Structure 1
Amino acid sequence: MWTNSMLKQNGMANFTKNRWACVVVCLILGIATGGGSGSVGSNVGRNAGGSSSNGSLDFNNIDWDVLIPIIMAVMAVLLVVLVIGLVLKIAVFAPLEVGCQRFFIVNRVQEKAQINNVAFGFKTNWKNIVKVMFFKNLYLFFWGLLCGIPAIIKGYSYRLVPYLLAENPDMTADEAITLSRQMMNGQKMNAFVYDLSFLGWILLSALTCGILYIFYVGPYKKCSDAELYTAIKETYNPQAVM
């Protein structure tokens, strides 16, 4: 049975033997998993359009013929940005995430894995990878609407999908998601405790404005995450879930 200390020890060894490649791939993975979403903020002056003597907004003085086209233009721009973000998330960032996990899996068994492994998702059954990751993220989105514990549990249930695709890019969505759920059956709490073991490092990274995370904690954890996937895969017993 694997232990957190064993996973982290092996992860550190895999990180140190290929340090700078791991740092670069971890940065790419950060873009892949966080680059598909963004926020747009705007500040509106409190006295826009005029105000009455008591400081409240006076709608009678607003020139709606001018304001409505501006509002429509802003909404159109935001819609375009949203569509572009979704397309990038689905068609680019998802297969890039699979490629990054491919790198960390390969880095376990090779002396020095090559950064070009991150292109795996684009060179090997790209359409299927995009489809599987789309359904995985779609299911997580709907579970996320429930908030709280159910969303967290499902996040752990689907955790292994990118790793499974990194080794089996021809798996269907049903196969990958079902297998991830089965493999994580009985392992979700173990994985949660494993993630908590990095909490101190993450808090320390915050004190360095993320610099420590970029060059040390992030790639160290991603190498250890690949160890976690391998350990769960090796201890998985299909008969136990039949």
Structure 2
Amino acid sequence: MWTRSELKERGKASFRKFYAGAVISCLLIGMVTFVVEFRDMQNQDQAADSYITEIQNADDIEDYQKIAEKVNPGSTYSIASRMVSDHSFLMIGVLIMLANLMVLNPLHVGVRHYFMRNRSESTRLGAIFYGFKGSRYFHICWVMFLRDLYTALWSLLFVIPGIVKGYEYRMIPYILAENSELSTSRTFAISKSMMKHNKWATFILDLSYILWVIADTFTFGLIGIFWLSPYVIATESELYAVLRGNVLDDAMAEAYELHGFYAS
């Protein structure tokens, strides 16, 4: 059994040994996430601003009628303009999804690989690109895509099932970071075994950072960059190490499936 305080102490001791690399790797994830999310918000803002600008520039009744026709779902003009607008939104949405799928998800796996290897040996920063190397890249993209898809589908039923499944799949990036050749079904099954009876405790672990999150808002993200993000991932890495040992001891996973972290 593990405790929050023990994991946090081990996490802090771990990432302090490679502090600069830990900060840089988390900063890279933060930058990619910001670019993707900012582009999505910018796209939504542009759509809203276009209508506001037209309303502000309207001079007479006829202008207002034309604007009304745009937002009236029954008008011919509205249908045509919506098709163009929807097409643009769809294209941007697809690009954002591809950025998550092909850049952000493999990077998440690579950062976990980097943190786990640094627990036992000094590792070069280039290890964060582990998820982009060779044929493993496509398998990682596929498994992480399924993780996101299943979580989203469960969330459609209600919020709680989505959260539960999110915790059930929590260790998938770490499993892929250890063995990127593991089959999709086994990756999901091992993560499920790891998180069995541990989802609630992990949820409480996440909540325990709330004061740090609040403090981060008052420092414009500086605490997150230089302390909180590396701290959270390092602590989560310690959690994975414990859960990994548990499933191996209980024969829920074989040694060849979780063969350890090494340069590859």
| Corresponding residue SS for 2:22 | helix
Identify unmatched segments of 5+ residues in structure 2: 254-264
On the 8 A contact 1:143/1:154 being kept in 2, the answer is yes
Residue 65 of structure 2: aligned partner: 58
1:195 to 203, 206, 216: 206
CA distance in 2, matches of 1:9, 1:160: 20
2:230 to 219, 227, 231: 219
CA distance in 2, matches of 1:78, 1:136: 24
The answer to whether 1:25 aligns with 2:25 is yes
The answer to whether 1:119 aligns with 2:121 is no
The answer to whether 1:15 aligns with 2:15 is yes
Question: 1:217 Cα shift?
Answer: 0.9
CA distance in 1, matches of 2:202, 2:18: 25
The answer to whether 1:100 aligns with 2:111 is yes
CA distance in 1, matches of 2:238, 2:35: 25
Q: How do 1:133-172 residues align onto structure 2 when only pairs under 5 Å count? A: 133-172=144-183
Identify unmatched segments of 5+ residues in structure 1: none
Give the aligned CA root-mean-square deviation in angstroms: 2.9
Residue 2 of structure 1: aligned partner: 2
Question: 1:156 Cα shift?
Answer: 0.3
On the 8 A contact 2:193/2:252 being kept in 1, the answer is no
**Which segment drifts farther, 35-44 or 161-170?**
35-44
| Corresponding residue SS for 2:119 | helix
1:68-89 Cα deviation digits (max 9, x unpaired):
7765544333222222222222
Instruction: Give the 3 Å change call, closer, same or farther, for CA 233–34 of structure 1 in structure 2.
Output: farther
On the 8 A contact 2:190/2:252 being kept in 1, the answer is no
Question: 1:30 Cα shift?
Answer: 3.1
Q: Which amino acid aligns with 2:228?
A: V
On the 8 A contact 1:49/1:58 being kept in 2, the answer is no
CA distance in 2, matches of 1:159, 1:60: 47
Instruction: Give the 3 Å change call, closer, same or farther, for CA 76–60 of structure 1 in structure 2.
Output: closer
Question: 1:34 Cα shift?
Answer: 6.4
User: Normalising by the residue count of structure 1, what TM-score does the alignment of the two structures yield?
Assistant: 0.86
User: Normalising by the residue count of structure 2, what TM-score does the alignment of the two structures yield?
Assistant: 0.79
% of aligned pairs identical? 30
| Corresponding residue SS for 1:109 | coil
On the 8 A contact 1:23/1:214 being kept in 2, the answer is yes
Instruction: Give the 3 Å change call, closer, same or farther, for CA 61–233 of structure 1 in structure 2.
Output: closer
